[in-house]
Amino acid sequence: MTQISNRDVERLLKNISTLLEIKGETRFRVNAYRNAAESIAQAGGDLKDLVEKGDLNDLPGIGKAIGDKITEYVNTGKLDYYDKLCEEVPEDLLTLSDLPGMGPKRVKAVWEKLGITDIRGLKKAAQDQRVQELEGFGPKIEEKILEALDQKKKSVSDQRYSLGDAWFQAQRIIAKLKKDPSVIKISAGGSVRRMKASVGDVDILVASDRPEDVMDLFTSMKETEKVLLKGSTKTSVKVENGMQVDLRVVEPACWGTALQYFTGSQEHNVKMRELSLKKGFSLSEYALSPVKEGQDMFFEKESDLYRYLGLQWIPPELRESWGEVEMAKQNRIPQLVSLSDIKGDLQSHSDWSDGRNTLYEMARTAYANGLEYLLVTDHSSGLGIAHGISGSKLMEQVEEIERINSEFNDSFRLLKGIEVEVKSDGTLDLNENVLKELDIVVAGIHSSLRQERKRITDRYLATVQNPLVHILAHPTGRLIGSREETDVDWDQVFRAAAENRTLLEINSNPMRLDLPGRLIRRAREFGCLFVINTDAHSTEDLNHLIFGVGTAGRGLLTKEDVLNTSSGGNVLSYIKDKP
DNA sequence: GCCGTTTTCGGCCCGACTGTTTTCAGTCG
């Protein structure tokens, strides 16, 4: 029988929600399925375990009805309810609702009035100008549909970008707008501010008394390729690389509520607004307004708004509606680890394997960035494509590292390490005698990631239980947008890692961000300890630490949960004490 | 369909912009 993953269930629930919406079902039921899908996406544990234990209802937004459906789907790989639904509402309509501007009402209209159920039919009808004849449609909407269908061919639709690309794009635009005197305050919002692993568009918020000036400046930037929509307070453009950037301008007095609103996530905002209603207020991006009568309240700072509603300020990284609002109510949000807490970096590559820079260049940059230590972890020879180095070559590198360290004073040192390859049988491709010469051993699993679940779980277990291994690198192996997480029984691996004091890496490379937040939260429950590393392959990559710190924040980690917030001496003594 | 430290029944976020309209529905975030 095929294994049903959390992702499969999430997709199924989302599809049900969309089909119900097209069918014209009440929006509350539609939302219930959407919320349940979102809840699954945030869940750290494996649904199969929850089903087995009968604990599905512990997840927010999952009650009896949806819980039963998940159970049936996970156990049998099928869901009768869904098959019946598809008989009523053709499943292919889902592809239509992916198109921009095509919401449930319009999909329903082309389906019922024109008998269209798929992309091809829609394209034909639009080309024949039959779509614009429908009530509520017109030539412009028809044109938009054709345009979207053309782009779809190039698979531009639903494109997401790495956090790195989006973050740097946001910084560039902010730096540019900041120079203008009409801009009083400016900040990134949305998923960039939340440090989400993938970003659909860049959101920027500005406080200004002259919104038109800011809009004009924004649309006339040389980066702006096309203006998608332009209003008095909200403008969207496409920039050179195809990325969409939304700009919102508010009065300075609204900054706190506006930044809260514009940071999201949408689900977090819904929670906040529901909570406000319970306290007798309606919350918008402009103000907190008493439902009955009284003066609107304005907040210049986000933290003032949260406090007024009886909550701790919630760091943006946590605002995904997985339970953070309830935590804030109970004052249980800890002080998250910050970039300035990080004292060293425990994974980096040089030109001895697949890195671009020399050991000395890497050391100098790490030192200039304020780090106290940098672990050199070139690939071992097992990873052929990365020009891995052999045992004897490694001993030469150790000598070179000692020579370089003598050029620095006591405030910085390179540490001797390796990213040793874990072979498909779970053994390492360097022998014990070589590994024992090193300060710290990082183990990486780069090949045979599609092994059957039981087999690859055993391989992970062998790795974290190996007394020679100190750090498990980029555990899930995901490459954002191109490779899914490896299917592993994480609970077993996290338990073994905690027992064996093996450190779990949070890899800061924007293509990895691995472990992801929800699995960090899970691992933390098992008592695991973490390290935040850049995995830099060049001096520039050493700047990626901020993304790893953001990801750690999404996993609720404090300074104490992260070993490389300690001095090099403390790190080495922890390593020495490993059983 | 879910949820509850004011509710086990009666609620369920809020506003901007576009394109279709003669005052608003649909979509989006």
For the segment 290-329 of chain A, residues whose CB is within 7 A of strand B: none
pLDDT value at position A181? 95
Cα dihedral sign, A323-A324-A330-A335: positive
**Which residue is it, tokens 């307070």?**
A233
Phi, psi of A309 (to 5 degrees): -85, 5
- Calculate the angstrom distance between C1' of B26 and CA of A96: 15
Are A488 and A455 contacting, i.e. CB atoms less than 8 angstroms apart? no
- Calculate the angstrom distance between C1' of B25 and CA of A249: 26
pLDDT per position as a tens digit, A241-258: 889 999 999 999 999 999
| DSSP type of residue A223 | T
Query: b vs e for A285-318, b when ≥16 Cβ sit within 10 Å of the residue's Cβ?
Result: bebbbeeeeeeeebbeebeebbeebebbebbbbb
- Calculate the angstrom distance between C1' of B17 and CA of A237: 14
pLDDT per position as a tens digit, A263-284: 999 999 999 999 999 999 999 9
pLDDT value at position A155? 44
**Across all strands, nucleotide nearest A99 (CA–C1'):** B27
Nearest residue (Cα to C1') for B15?
Answer: A284
pLDDT value at position A157? 45
Whole-structure pTM value: 0.93
Q: Which residues contact A244 (CB under 8 A, 6 or more apart)?
A: A200, A201, A202, A228, A236, A237, A238
How far CA A21 is from CA of A85, A119, A172, in Å, comes to 12, 19, 39
Write out the two tokens for A376: 């050199």
Nearest residue (Cα to C1') for B12?
Answer: A28
Is the shortest CB-to-strand distance from A126 to strand B under 7 Å? no
pLDDT per position as a tens digit, A400-415: 999 999 999 889 999 9
Q: What angle do the packed helices A6-23 and A104-114 form, to 10 degrees? A: 60
- Calculate the angstrom distance between C1' of B14 and CA of A518: 29
Q: What is the DSSP string of A269-297?
A: HHHHHHHHHHTTEEE-SS-EEESSSS--B
pLDDT value at position A384? 62
Is the shortest CB-to-strand distance from A226 to strand B under 7 Å? no
Is the shortest CB-to-strand distance from A24 to strand B under 7 Å? no
Is the shortest CB-to-strand distance from A53 to strand B under 7 Å? no
- Calculate the angstrom distance between C1' of B12 and CA of A145: 32
Percent share of chain A, pLDDT over 70: 98
Strand B nucleotides with an atom less than 7 Å from a protein beta carbon:
1-3, 6-7, 11-21, 25-29
Between CA A552 and CA A6 the distance in angstroms is 22
Report, as an integer, the average pLDDT of A113-140. Answer: 93
pLDDT per position as a tens digit, A290-301: 988 788 999 999
Is the shortest CB-to-strand distance from A1 to strand B under 7 Å? no
Confidence category of residue A515, pLDDT binned at 50, 70, 90: very high
How far CA A41 is from CA of A3, A320, A321, A480, A546, in Å, comes to 17, 10, 11, 15, 24
For the segment 54-83 of chain A, residues whose CB is within 7 A of strand B: 57, 60-67
